[in-house]
Structure 1
Amino acid sequence: MLKKWNLMIAGVLLAMGMTACGTDNSEEASSGETSGTSGDSAAEESASSEGNASEEDANGESTEAEEITVSHELGETTVPKNPEDVVVFDFGSLDTLDTLGVDVAGLPKGTVPGYLSQYDSSEYENAGGIKEPDFEKIAAMEPGLIIISGRQSGAYEELSEIAPTIYMQVDTQNYWDSFASNAQTLGEIFGESDQVDEKLASIEDKVESLEEEASSADGEALVALANNGELSAYGAGSRFGVIHDEFGFAQVDENIETSTHGQSVSFEYVKEKNPEYLFVIDRTAVVGGDVSAEEVIENELTEQTKAYKNDNIVYLNPEYWYISGGGLQSVPAMVEQASAALE
């Protein structure tokens, strides 16, 4: 069930200078995927931000704090309010900053999602590869803030020597709270907390509506990643487990292992489990390969499933699900795509 969180309380906490910043387990690595698990509780792993003690100006009046402290999975970072020349490696954060109207200076251009293609122009610096930051170029940019996720976690210390660096990946085992906390942290850093709260309230309504409908629907779901002809299944708590954990779709197999790359499965497995809903993310479409998901998914074995017979095979947009999940644009798009299975 969707975990309720209280925006009013969050607003008070933010005003007191204490806001959580969600974390995630490492994202996929060698193939562009790294995801993992973390045994700490949400409270232990949540990131927080706190403003400096309020100062007084020459007239003795309080002035707004100029810095906040953000606690995240990789450490604690003092961040200036409204930093300039921001470098962003986490595309979910880029998605959110784009929504808030916050400009950035650089990013890894090799895997920019199509809906954020404006950042692939010469107006923005190429900060290196998604797993190999260009430290020299980043240092020359003199950024006020660097935002990273799992693929860059190994470079955290070196990037922190260049500029304040925060880890902003979504915790897949606590997706909603982590996503909301990340957005609220960015909202506080850039003075857009009210806009963030409005967006989150709207998205939460959509998630709750989907969860209510999906949890009462007949049939169970299977979430699969298609990778150049190979298939991996993902259950609750995994990288794509939000479909079960927050969106309310029951699992067709409660024993799917939670692992870095998902559980490798065959099409005989899909036929045997016979899901009512089959959600497919096509990794090949975003990282390259010879075989698309649709070429292999709809075969003589899957055609015997209820999902195929009832037209309930849903091809999820891999840009939102694989590249830039956890953004104020991508999450509502993910909700809408999952909802398509119930139409």
Structure 2
Amino acid sequence: MTSHHRYRLWPLAVLIAATVAVQGCNEKPAEPPRAATELQVGQAVFAPVVVQHQLGTTVIERAPQRVVALDMNEVDFLDQLGVPVVGMPKDFVPQFLASYKDSPSVEDLGSIVQPNLERVHGARPDLILITSLQANHFRELSEMAPTIHFDVDYRDSEARHIEVIREHLLTLGQIFGKQALARQKIMALDAKVEEARCITQDRPEKALVVLHNNGAFSSFGVQSRYGFIFNALGVKPASPMAETGLHGQPISSEFIQQANPDIIYVVDRTAVMERRPVMGAESMGNPLLRQTNAWKNHRVIFVDPQAWYVTGASPTSLKRVIDDVVRGYRD
């Protein structure tokens, strides 16, 4: 969140969220307004922007021209705002950002978890965007260019996941003179969230979110990287366990059978890490799983693992997550 503009941006975010919420579940969400022309804003004299984040305070003194994004969520934010990227890691690029992976004008900066700092320096950035995955390099990166940390919590997204995404959009919109477009994206995102809540709020089904990793499974509950599924989207959890953490709580087939979820969302990490096709129902065909309500009612949902695992905290990925969640409630 920017510091000296906090009094302007936060009420705006609240107003946008409130506007969507009061529409009600039986009304069609209002069409978001078309973005105002940004050319005049871009030509105006740049006012320094001060951004406060979990790793400190970053001052943007001039309009960035060469932006490096070290996390795929950040690449998507910039893509949504029409801001070019000069460099990014290209080890795990989701399909919806494939054009960046194939572009010779976008420098390959190594891996998401361990970016190549020499390449980052060679890209001559004037702004660097990171998340907690690159936080241990914050000091070195800040010596190269102003560096902003995206304060999304990958270990526990229950409390403010959607709000943090909104705030980051507003911050980047201010930095790049794209405020109107950022507000448009927020309204579209809020409408999507409200649509999901309208579907889940009166439904009795309980769900499990599980991560598949080479034949083993982990569960993610209300205090985990997928906590926002339950908190923000209104999905009812099938397990009372608090599976706080980045990789969830290891579980057995017996655990899944005893929880007896009505819906199971499967995030296939192996498909991402080993670049394999996403697993299907036949890969989960053990007798205990077949006894769950989810299996019997064909509500084992194999989600988009790139959107859920590689990203999960950007406008495009969140919309894809919501689409997968809604699939679990279709008859």
TM-score scaled by length of structure 2: 0.82
- CA 1:292–1:209 in 2, change beyond 3 Å: closer, same or farther? closer
Pairing partner for 1:233 from 213, 219, 235: 219
- CA 1:234–1:97 in 2, change beyond 3 Å: closer, same or farther? same
Tell me if the contact between 1:228 and 1:290 (Cα under 8 Å) persists in the aligned partners.
no
Instruction: Output one character per residue of 1:262-318: Cα deviation in whole Å (capped at 9) or x when no partner.
Output: 110001110111000101111111111789643543322111100011111111101
Aligned partner of 2:52 in structure 1 is: 71
| Equivalent-residue separation in structure 2 for 1:267 and 1:281 (angstroms) | 16
- CA 1:327–1:259 in 2, change beyond 3 Å: closer, same or farther? closer
Pairing partner for 2:148 from 156, 160, 166: 166
SS in 1 for 2:91: helix
Aligned partner of 2:314 in structure 1 is: 327
Pairing partner for 2:198 from 212, 216, 219: 212
Pairing partner for 2:260 from 274, 282, 292: 274
2:87 matches 1:106: yes
TM-score scaled by length of structure 1: 0.79
Which fold has the larger relative contact order, with Cα–Cα distance below 8 Å and residues 6 or more apart in sequence? 1
1:123 maps to amino acid: S
SS in 2 for 1:329: helix
Give the drift of 1:237.
Answer: 2.8
| Equivalent-residue separation in structure 2 for 1:257 and 1:329 (angstroms) | 26
Please, which moves more after superposition, 93-102 or 291-300? 291-300
2:321 matches 1:339: no
| Equivalent-residue separation in structure 1 for 2:237 and 2:250 (angstroms) | 16
| Equivalent-residue separation in structure 2 for 1:208 and 1:19 (angstroms) | 15
Aligned partner of 1:85 in structure 2 is: 66
| Equivalent-residue separation in structure 2 for 1:103 and 1:241 (angstroms) | 32
Q: Percent identity?
A: 33
Give the drift of 1:219.
Answer: 1.9
Which ranges of structure 2 fall in alignment gaps of 5 or more residues?
A: 15-43
Within a 5 Å distance, the mapping from 1:245-324 to structure 2 comes to 245-288=231-274, 293-294=279-280, 296-324=283-311
SS in 1 for 2:164: helix
Tell me if the contact between 1:83 and 1:190 (Cα under 8 Å) persists in the aligned partners.
yes
1:119 maps to amino acid: Y
Give the drift of 1:209.
Answer: 2.1
- CA 1:305–1:181 in 2, change beyond 3 Å: closer, same or farther? same
Instruction: Output one character per residue of 1:137-163: Cα deviation in whole Å (capped at 9) or x when no partner.
Output: 221222010111122111111111111
Q: 4+ runs of 1 displaced by more than 6 Å?
A: none
2:325 maps to amino acid: A
Tell me if the contact between 2:212 and 2:270 (Cα under 8 Å) persists in the aligned partners.
yes
| Equivalent-residue separation in structure 1 for 2:245 and 2:271 (angstroms) | 22
- CA 1:80–1:117 in 2, change beyond 3 Å: closer, same or farther? farther
2:158 matches 1:186: no
- CA 1:169–1:325 in 2, change beyond 3 Å: closer, same or farther? farther
2:208 maps to amino acid: L
The size of the alignment, in residue pairs, is 291
Q: CA RMSD in A?
A: 2.4
- CA 1:170–1:108 in 2, change beyond 3 Å: closer, same or farther? same
SS in 1 for 2:236: coil
| Equivalent-residue separation in structure 2 for 1:298 and 1:198 (angstroms) | 44
| Equivalent-residue separation in structure 2 for 1:315 and 1:186 (angstroms) | 33
Aligned partner of 1:123 in structure 2 is: 105
